[in-house]
Amino acid sequence: MPSIFDLFRKISNTEQRGRIEYILAGLGNPGDKYANTRHNCGFIAIDRIAELHGARICYSKFDALTCEAEFSGKRVLMMKPMTYMNLSGNAVGKAASFYKIPPEHVIVLSDDINLAPGRMRIRKSGSPGGHNGLESIIEMLDSEAFPRIRIGIGQKPEGYDLKDWVLGKLSPEDVEKIEKIAVCCDEAVGMIIEGRADEAMGKFNGMSF
């Protein structure tokens, strides 16, 4: 049983770290079956970002795997919803409600079939654009006003079913591109938190790997 001194030390350490002010969510589907699929590029990117911060997203909370990191002096909850893509908003909504995070402080990483592999696009708000994970988050937050970074997976080839395309495996070359994009995402997240989203958009939206 912890002593009263242990409890005070724990409270003190929490206060020193500061409270959670932002959420960074990478979208995907849980399980080995979906590892390195196109729809899971949000998972790939956020794992790489966590690695850059010396962290690992492995703590189960809010129906997600989570960890905490610091971006631009702010404490950020990084999360990978374990609810499957179509219900991503359940996990993000629970975390946002618990920490009283406004939609403007929720940053989402997701795949985008309208962008070529090696491209990324930052938007400060907007419609889901046919993406079920973003649609779920919009529904649970009751707002479209959250920043998102969309990572290109390319349009489906003619004759392909869309579901088969997004759940298909990424090539090793495309995985490498996503991991390079993740380094840019890490910088972009810091800029968004600093109120420099327009600058981030100008810097990264035309970039290609």
Whether the Cβ atoms of residue 154 and residue 208 lie closer than 8 Å to each other:
no
Positions in the chain whose pLDDT score sits under 50: 5, 7-16
Residue type for 21, please?
E
Whether the Cβ atoms of residue 189 and residue 71 lie closer than 8 Å to each other:
yes
**209 in any annotated domain:** no
- Domain tally, the chain: 1
- First CA to last CA distance, the chain: 53
**3 in any annotated domain:** no
CATH number, domain of 113, equals 3.40.50.1470
pLDDT at 8: 44
**6 in any annotated domain:** no
Q: How far is CA 160 from the centre of its chain?
A: 27
Beta-ladder partners of 123: 148
Q: Rounded to an integer, what distance in angstroms lies between the CA atom of residue 20 and that of residue 96?
A: 10
**78 in any annotated domain:** yes
Q: Rounded to an integer, what distance in angstroms lies between the CA atom of residue 30 and that of residue 117?
A: 22
**158 in any annotated domain:** yes
Tokens of 116: 């070529």
pLDDT at 18: 81
**11 in any annotated domain:** no
Tokens of 27: 């979208």
**Residues annotated as part of the active site:** 39
**10 in any annotated domain:** no
pLDDT at 2: 52
Domain of residue 102 covers 18-204
Whether the Cβ atoms of residue 123 and residue 53 lie closer than 8 Å to each other:
no
pLDDT in tens, 182-201: 999 999 999 999 999 999 99
**32 in any annotated domain:** yes
